Amino acid sequence: MNNNAKLMSIVFDLGEPLFTREYPSDIVQFQTFTTVQTNTPIWTPGANNSIYLTALQISSLAPVVVEINRENNSPFMSIAITDTLATYGISFSSPIKFNPDEIISITTSAASTVSITLLGYEL
């Protein structure tokens, strides 16, 4: 076989990487909550560092709205889990950069067992 591979009618040149990131997502923040949360910090960066969020995943045992907040409870993303035992995940094609020393927090609409995983890095 030569240096090309055919997969689902798309040809990739295996001689060069298709996608690279300058910095790996070497930080994984994982939290589980069972009560209603209001602007609860889930990622506090190191002094003078910015968070670069590359992916997140949220799962819940019951329907709930989960709001990911920036500094001062400013909403960044709102996710509605509409079914029991449901999971939502997203991987950003480019990292989401937060301001230096900006904390990421969570607010939930109801009491449920909610697990959240954030992936990214700090610079």
Measured distance CA(63)–CA(82) in Å, rounded:
5
Locate the domains of the chain by residue range: 21-122
Nearest to 42 by CA among 122, 103, 113, 112: 103
Tens of pLDDT, residues 25-83:
689 999 999 999 999 999 999 999 999 999 999 999 999 999 999 988 889 999 999 99
pLDDT confidence of residue 12: 46
| Contacts for 68 with CB less than 8 Å, ≥ 6 apart | 56, 75, 76, 77, 78, 79, 104, 105, 106
Q: How much is the pLDDT for 23?
A: 60
Per the model's pLDDT, the better-predicted residue between 7 and 23 turns out to be 23
Burial code (b: 16+ CB inside 10 Å, e: under 16) for 35-70 equals eebeeeebbebeeeebbbbbbbebbbeeebebbbbb
Compute the average pLDDT of residues 100-112: 96
Q: By percentage, how much of the chain surpasses pLDDT 90?
A: 72
Query: Residue holding tokens 């709205």?
Result: 65
Q: What is the CATH number of domain 21-122?
A: 2.60.120.40
One-letter amino acid identity for 32?
Answer: T
CB distance 43 to 118 below 8 Å: yes
Contact 13, 6 (CB under 8 A): no
How many angstroms separate the CA atoms of 30 and 20, rounded? 25
